[in-house]
Amino acid sequence: MVSGGKEQREPTVSLALYYLFKWTVVNPLLRGYFRGRIYGAENMPTSGPVLVVANHASDFDPPIVSSCVRRPVSYMAKQELFKVPVLSTAIRAFFVYPLQRGGAARVAIRAALQQLELVWAVGVFLQGTRTRDGRIPDPKLGAAMIAAKAQVPLVPVSLWGTHRILPRGTKFPKPLPVTVRIGVPIAPPSSSKDRLALQAVTDYCCDRIHTLHDLGR
């Protein structure tokens, strides 16, 4: 179990790097190039461990989410992304750590729990992989299980429009509008061994994200 605390924050160096990269690269790109809109940022806890759950349609999603929730979010990402110029620098600056494709689920869960123990906000995409339209047709139970084991809240985040900015086969992102909506924190399941409870929380997180996504621009 992870213990919360009002004054618990990420390491000072990590916070400094986060704000530097946010204000010099990500925020100008989001606000300017993508004409980004952000709603509900006040719903994100400013301290203590927390799990951020979101839909996923673009490799740009991790830094965008982290920038919008006003604190660093640690993500797992496929190793291939660490070979992509520019994007590799961005995700490393935003505390994304590599996970080998096909790795065991328990390894991913253990890694997330370790980050939460260090008082990080940890990001999990409910679908696990990108979807074509930003919807979540098959949400996985991993996020609910992590939240149950750590007893930390889940914050639902909707990314609208990111599926269009870098379609497959294109090399440069398109200047299309992006909207991010952050929902109210959701309590974790009481037990990681109760599959019905895990499924109920997963379905509720998915429903909240879809409801936010349906609000559109």
pLDDT digits (tens, 9 = 90+) for 80-95: 667 777 667 666 665 6
Query: Is residue 1 over pLDDT 90?
Result: no
Nearest to 141 by CA among 169, 166, 109, 175: 109
How many domains is the chain built from? 1
- With residue 203 as reference, give the H or E element that holds it: helix 195-213
Please give the residue range of the domain that contains residue 72. Answer: 12-165+176-213
Give whichever of 89-93, 120-124, 127-131 has the largest mean pLDDT: 120-124
Contact present, 122 and 115 (Cβ < 8 Å): yes
- The answer as to whether 132 is a domain residue is yes
Contact present, 121 and 157 (Cβ < 8 Å): no
- With residue 99 as reference, give the H or E element that holds it: strand 96-99
- Domain of 70, CATH number, reads 3.40.1130.10
Amino acid at 28: P
- The answer as to whether 4 is a domain residue is no
DSSP 188: P
How far apart CA 45 and CA 68 sit, in angstroms, is 12
- The answer as to whether 33 is a domain residue is yes
- The answer as to whether 7 is a domain residue is no
Percent of the chain predicted with pLDDT > 90: 62
Give whichever of 58-62, 101-105, 203-207 has the largest mean pLDDT: 203-207
* Token pair recorded at residue 131: 């979807």
How far apart CA 57 and CA 157 sit, in angstroms, is 13
- The answer as to whether 130 is a domain residue is yes
- The answer as to whether 1 is a domain residue is no
- The answer as to whether 85 is a domain residue is yes
Contact present, 146 and 156 (Cβ < 8 Å): no
- The answer as to whether 68 is a domain residue is yes
